[in-house]
Chains A and B, each alone.
Chain A
Amino acid sequence: MPDIFVSEEIDKKKSRPPQPPQPESSTPPEPIKDEPKTKSQREALPGHTHNPLSAYCYYPEAVDFETKESKEKIVLLLRKHPITNVRWIVISVLMILAPGLLNFFPPAMVVPANFRLIGVLGWYLITSAYVLENFLTWFFNVYIITDERIIDVDFYNLIYKEVSEAEIEKIQDVTYKMGGVARTMFDYGDVLVQTAAEVPNFEFLAVPTPDRVVKILQDLRIEEKQEALEGRVR
């Protein structure tokens, strides 16, 4: 007796009329959930600001970077929370006031007046370099999240910079941590992004509202996955 079983389902499939081929990549990419279309919509978003010194700017307007593609949209611009600057600002103020103490320091009077003057000016040069370095380090150390990738611009000191990036679809894991009194009070923390890109770890250090940053990244990841599933490629 032959042991052959023919499934009815297969028969049904076979008898089904051929489906017309689905067009791929014909539909334009859908915008992310709450992408603002107009200027007023953008301005109504929480976290949107025109302040170029802002540490958190959602859908910034005047921001551009070297490798930005024409259709790429910047979703978020992040910097370290301004409160992290307090330490160097206090030190700078003390450095500015320090030459005033020379009058209370008798050994300094042995130095001729012209050398003392140049010494004070030299001290202010060092102070200005210190202020400049700290300000520029804070200002140019930015994290940019676009609808396609994340970019980390590092400005380590006055003569060294590094720009690294990873595509959103290569993000594997996003976590954030907040701890300590200052971080809890001023609502800032570190966002850690693990990727399958060349740079395995991205650290957004001391950024404001890390929970919102993680949420935005998750939304973008879902959006990218959706695009990949639907075969929509930009």
Chain B
Amino acid sequence: MVPGAFNITIWPIIKIFVIIALAIYATFAGVVLKQIKMMTDTLEVGFEAPVRFIGLAHFLFAVAVLIFALIIL
């Protein structure tokens, strides 16, 4: 067996799993965003804008990491 053959075969498989995991996470972040909207509609306490911003930032962060992973992996 050629030294380094393990490295050649394992990393593309890991890459696929990482991309799938990040895509699932981005979907989850989208669901969270929707849930935050529903909750702020259910209950208004005068702090809706910052909460929605936090949810949006989380979603954008998840999408950015997914795109970044697609580029650099």
For residue A140, which residues in chain B have a CB less than 8 angstroms away from its CB?
39, 42-43
A153 near B42 with CB under 8 A, answer yes
Judge if B16 is at the interface, Cβ distance under 8 Å.
no
For residue B62, which residues in chain A have a CB less than 8 angstroms away from its CB?
125
Measured in the bound complex, the distance between the Cα atoms of B48 and A139 in whole Å is 11
For residue A159, which residues in chain B have a CB less than 8 angstroms away from its CB?
31-32, 35
- Please count how many residues in chain A sit with their CB below 8 Å of the partner chain's CB atoms: 32
Q: Take A118-B68, A121-B68 as given contacts and tell me if A63 and B51 are in contact as well, using a CB distance cutoff of 8 Å.
A: no
For residue B73, which residues in chain A have a CB less than 8 angstroms away from its CB?
114-115, 118
B51 near A121 with CB under 8 A, answer no
- The binding surface of chain B is classed by DSSP as helix
Judge if B20 is at the interface, Cβ distance under 8 Å.
no
A60 near B38 with CB under 8 A, answer no
Judge if B2 is at the interface, Cβ distance under 8 Å.
no
Judge if A176 is at the interface, Cβ distance under 8 Å.
no
Question: In the complex, what's the smallest C-beta–C-beta distance from A222 to chain B, in angstroms?
Answer: 28
B68 near A129 with CB under 8 A, answer no
B22 near A122 with CB under 8 A, answer yes
> Which residues of A (11-63) have their CB < 8 Å from a CB of B?
52-53, 60, 62-63
A65 near B42 with CB under 8 A, answer yes
Q: Chain A: residues with CB nearer than 8 A to chain B?
A: 52-53, 60, 62-66, 77, 112, 114-115, 117-118, 121-122, 124-125, 128-129, 132, 135-136, 139-140, 142, 153, 155, 158-159, 161, 163
Q: Chain B: residues with CB nearer than 8 A to chain A?
A: 11, 14-15, 18, 21-22, 25, 28-29, 31-32, 35-36, 38-39, 41-47, 51, 54-55, 58, 61-62, 65, 68-69, 72-73
25 A-B pairs within 8 Å (CB atoms) are namely A60-B45, A63-B46, A64-B44, A65-B43, A112-B11, A117-B72, A118-B22, A118-B65, A118-B72, A121-B68, A121-B69, A122-B25, A125-B22, A125-B61, A129-B25, A129-B29, A132-B32, A132-B58, A140-B42, A142-B45, A153-B42, A158-B32, A159-B31, A161-B38, A161-B39
